[in-house]
Each structure stands twice: as structure tokens, then as C-alpha cells.
Chains A and B, each alone.
Chain A
Amino acid sequence: SQTIHQWPATLVQPVGSPLSLECTVEGTSNPNLYWYRQAAGRGLQLLFYSVGIGQISSEVPQNLSASRPQDRQFILSSKKLLLSDSGFYLCAWSPTETQYFGPGTRLLVL
């Protein structure tokens, strides 16, 4: 069966520090991969999605970037975090329409 992992679960970072969140999927190959951000009590904002290694589509211009160095690995990065980057970050994968979510990373930028 397929599983999706995200880490860390919680992260507290100072403004201006770098960020690296990792997401990996097991049990499938060539999945579509997604990064979402969710503000408290709000819906999901699609940040990036990828249909293959090295193929990244950006949905929202910001100081975040994403990379897919391996088929089942998706990384969200930032060189300098802003206060507004705080939120709940969710990674998801999909074979077709249905999306399967990881447990999320709660990021607090102080």
C-alpha cells in the first residue's frame, strides 16, 4: 500500500532563516505531487505541483520554491522566511484525481 511521509511535524524558525520541508511517498511510482499551505481556520492554497522529476509548476509567486530530485521526493524550501510564511504545510500525492495527504508540518515563524 502507499504511504506518504512529511517531516518535521512542527517547526519554529526565526524570520530570515532558511527552510526545508521534505515529503516522500512509498508504494507507488511517478505520482503527481503537491504542496499546499493552510492558514489557521482557512482553506488550502496550492503552492506547487509536480508531474515528474524536475517538473515544478508554481501557483503563487512568493519566496518559496520546490524541487523534486527523485520520483517520490518533494522538497519545499525558502532562503529567507517571512512572518507570513507561518502556517500548516501539507504535501499530497495523486495517481489521478484523488489526492492523498500527509500529516502536515506546522511552521511558526517568529
Chain B
Amino acid sequence: SQQGEEDPQALSIQEGENATMNCSYKTSINNLQWYRQNSGRGLVHLILIRSNEREKHSGRLRVTLDTSKKSSSLLITASRAADTASYFCATGKTSYDKVIFGPGTSLSVIP
């Protein structure tokens, strides 16, 4: 299975600290995406990184991809209480294929 597995399952930090979440997958991929889900809501796309990229930034988000280790990390810098949510990685084998979501990391940012 190409399913991503996030680590840790749950993370609790103080506001202002950085939060790092990891995702590992099993088979070769075309792209890896990170999504955020606030409680009881739909998922929101955060960032996509392709297999030929190593790092991408978007605001306070930094994503890295290591295809040799089949892993990715999502770093949220200077966290805010509003960052409290579940974060999911999703992997795709091709540009037009379905993606497979991991079980997610639950992030709590304490004010």
C-alpha cells in the first residue's frame, strides 16, 4: 500500500513554538500533499510537493520530502492557537490518480 503514516499521532505544544509532523509511505509516489482539518469540518489543502522537489515553503509552513527514505515532514513555525487541528498527508502515484490519506496527526496549540 502507498498509504502515508503520520507521526506522532498527537502533539501538544505551547503557542509560539514550532510543530513538526512526519509522514512515511511505502511505494514510489508522484506527489505528496498535506491537508488540515478543523474539528467537524472538511479538509483544507495546505501544500503539495512533487517527487522531484526536496523542500517547499508557504507562509509559516515548510515541507520537506526525502524520496530515498520515503518520508516527508511538515513544519509549522511560530504556532498559534488557530493552528489547532488534525493534519493529514496524502500520497499520489500519478498526477491524475486518486490520493491515499494517512491517519493524521492531532495538533493542539495551547495559548
Q: A interface vs B, CB < 8 Å?
A: 32, 34, 36, 41-44, 46, 49, 88, 90, 92, 96-104, 106
Contacts and interface: CB of A to CB of B under 8 A. Distances in A.
Contacts, number: 54
Contacts of B90: 99
B96 A32 contact: yes
Nearest to B97: A97
Interface of B: 30-31, 33, 35, 40-45, 48, 88, 90, 92, 95-96, 98-104, 106
Given A101-B42, A104-B42, A44 B95 contact: no
A106 B42 contact: no
A70 B4 CA distance: 32
Contact of A103 (B35, B41, B103): B41
